Amino acid sequence: MNAVHFDRNGNSVWENRWIRFRMALKIAGVEPKMHDYCRGWVLGFLGYLKPKRFSQAQEDDVRGYLQKLADGGKAIWQVIQAQEALRVFFRDVEPVAWARNWPEDLVPKSLKERLPDEAAAEVQRPPTAGGASEFSGRSDTGELPEKYQRFLEVVEEALRTERYAYRTEQTYLDWVRRFLIFAEPESRQAVAWWQAKEYLGYLTLVRRVSNGTQNQALSALQFLFSKVLRRCAGNADGVHRAAAIRRVPTVLAREEVDRLIDLMEGTGRLMAELMYGAGLRVTECARLRIKDLDFANRYIVVRGGKGDKDRRAPLPKKVTPSLEAQMELSRERWAKDREMGVEGVFMPEALSVKYVNAGKEWCWFWLFPSDQLSLDPWAGKERRHHLNVHAVQQLVKRAALRAGLTKPVTPHTLRHSFATHLLEGGADIRTVQELLGHSDVSTTMIYTHVLGRPEMAAVSPLDR
């Protein structure tokens, strides 16, 4: 059997290795969207290694593989990414003795000759005092100077060209704005990566942000340099992602969920029941459209969830009367909008161009529409948007306080409780993975403290 690829029936040994590899990458702070690329570098190395087995690999084999990538024209960040993937694999997944003291000079020196002039300017960074005192009197808050406004618009255009989600777009724009306020570059050409590293140091030493926040800022700055400024950025000069910290999710007991939901009413209660009964994120719940509910087959279609993925979630029988009542209220709002000539609701993937009147059809209307009209930031038109997620978060928080719950409760706590209670009921982890919409089962394995029960069909815990 080929040791590199899976066979048609699946090789359980290698499947377990890849699961452990993905978990090790997460602990090392590598973003989930980069895991498949790292896996590809490892597979490429195993192909390069033939006929030797991976357990027979030596330091010279890794060095030769990286040299081959460099000679083949790979960018320096790709070679560094390949080295990092192999380091994680041979130190944390399939440990070998020589990898315990991983060499620091594996990346071929010839790659440095291909670095752009901007990267070479890194050595000219002004001397600093070091430590938190280095940033005395500096801040990343306040008004953005007018001279940077056009530059920020260019970043916004690049984000939309790369098809980033709207929330990611707003987050990255905020980080770039903060960076410009902090660094105060003279011009676009004067923006240097050492300033980005300096800003990341400020976030760590002065603002003391969490690892996740630091990595988010790093991703935004890497996008700025690679996609907008077209310059080298990232691990090429010693900047590494902060290690991801695994936190135990807050889970409510069944009786605590009952107490919480019983103290809610109206639309807020229905949304809480859906988040717990179907495992929805708060944004997924707020964005539900009429067409997403399938009462005949008893499931909800979640469109464009996290990572722009679709999935099906169970539709609890218990909420059917409430859903039908909410649909009637929503239909009244839709009918009034049609009478008033309001623009149709937002349509994904430019469907409003392909189907001009689809945004005004009942099936595309929101299940939880907002009471007020708002401006579409992309189209510049006044439309009916869905309910604000912050209002739902406040409703859940207040209900938790009234219920006397001492745990930090948010809408996402209901999703954690959904997954845990399914596993307690005997559902297998693969089923829960699909219902939650996780790309990798290692993400779902955080709930495995209740595994070891007999398998059974996944039924919404709200119906038990």
Tens of pLDDT along 39-72? 889 889 888 888 888 788 888 888 888 888 888 8
| Residues whose CB is less than 8 angstroms from the CB of residue 359 and which lie 6 or more positions away in sequence, other chains included | 343, 344, 345, 346, 347, 351, 352
**DSSP per-residue codes, 145-185:** PGGGHHHHHHHHHHHHHTT--HHHHHHHHHHHHHHHHHH--
**Same domain flag for 310 and 413:** yes
What is the structure's pLDDT at 176?
Answer: 95
Q: Which of 61-70, 245-254, 439-448 has the lowest mean pLDDT?
A: 439-448
Which residue among 178, 197, 386, 438 is the active-site one? 438
Domain boundary among 185, 212, 237: 237
Q: Return the CATH number at 259.
A: 1.10.443.10
Q: Are residues 224 and 265 in the same domain?
A: no
Domain ranges, residue 55 = 12-114
Domain boundary among 209, 237, 265: 237
In whole angstroms, give the CA distance from residue 450 to residue 428: 11
272 & 403 share domain: yes
Residue 350 in any domain: the answer is yes
Neighbours of 423 (CB within 10 A): 22
Say what the pLDDT of residue 122 is: 44
* In the predicted structure, residue 263 carries a pLDDT above the cut 90: yes
Q: What is the pLDDT of residue 187?
A: 81
- Give yes or no: residues 186 and 86 share one domain: no
Q: CATH number, domain at 100?
A: 1.10.150
Q: What is the mean pLDDT of the chain?
A: 83
Does some domain include residue 182?
yes
What is the pLDDT at residue 138? 85
Count other C-beta atoms under 10 Å from residue 375's C-beta.
11
pLDDT (tens digit per residue) in 180-208: 999 998 888 788 888 888 899 899 888 88
Same domain, 284 and 414: yes
What confidence tier does 455 reach under pLDDT thresholds 50, 70, 90?
A: very low
pLDDT of residue 361 exceeding 80: yes
Looking at the structure, do residues 263 and 384 belong to the same domain, yes or no? yes
Which one from 281, 311, 385, 386 is the annotated catalytic residue?
Answer: 281
Q: What is the CATH number of the domain that holds 197?
A: 1.10.150.130
pLDDT, tens digit, 9 for 90 and up, residues 367-403: 999 999 988 877 778 899 999 999 999 999 999 999 9
pLDDT in tens, 403-429: 999 999 999 999 999 999 998 888 888
Catalytic residue flag (residue 281): yes
Q: Which of 97, 114, 131 is the last residue of a domain?
A: 114
Residue 142 region by backbone torsions, left for phi larger than 0, else alpha for psi between -120 and 50, else beta: left
Spatial contact of 351 and 358, defined as CB atoms under 8 Å apart: yes
Q: Is 112 a residue whose pLDDT tops 60?
A: no
- 459 part of a folded domain: no
- 212 in a structural domain: yes
Q: What is the pLDDT of residue 2?
A: 43
The pLDDT, as a whole number, for residue 98 is 83
Shared domain check, 286 and 403 = yes
Looking at 306, 333, 360, 381, which residue is catalytic? 306
Of 72-76, 83-87, 174-178, the range with the lowest mean pLDDT is 72-76
Residue 344 located in a structural domain: yes
Q: Based on the domain organization, do 212 and 268 belong to the same domain?
A: no
- For 68, 251, 368, 377, 424, the CA distances from 421, given in Å and listed in that order, are 50, 9, 26, 39, 5
In the prediction, which pLDDT does 326 show? 96
Tell whether 120 is covered by a domain.
no
pLDDT mean over 127-138: 64
Highest-confidence segment of 8-22, 239-253, 337-351 = 337-351
Give 263's Cβ-side CA count (13 Å radius).
16
% of the chain beyond a pLDDT of 90: 36
Q: 310-332, pLDDT tens digit by residue? A: 999 999 999 999 999 999 999 99
pLDDT interval class at 452 (50, 70, 90): very low
Tell me, yes or no, whether 149 and 89 share the same domain.
Answer: no
Query: Which listed residue (311, 415, 416, 421) is catalytic?
Result: 415
Residues 92 and 168 in one domain: no
Domain assignment present for residue 244? The answer is no
CA distance 393 to 169: 22
For residues 297 and 408, membership in a common domain is answered with yes
Helix (H) or strand (E) holding 394: helix 389-402
User: Which residues share a beta bridge with 375?
Assistant: 382
Catalytic residue at 438?
yes
Type and span of the H or E element at 382:
strand 382-386
* Residue 447 designated active-site: yes
Q: How many domains does the chain have?
A: 3
Q: Is 374 in the same domain as 268?
A: yes
Whether residue 32 lies inside any domain: the answer is: yes
Residue 212: pLDDT band (50, 70, 90) is: confident
Share of the chain above pLDDT 70, in %: 85
Tokens of residue 316, six digits: 């609890």
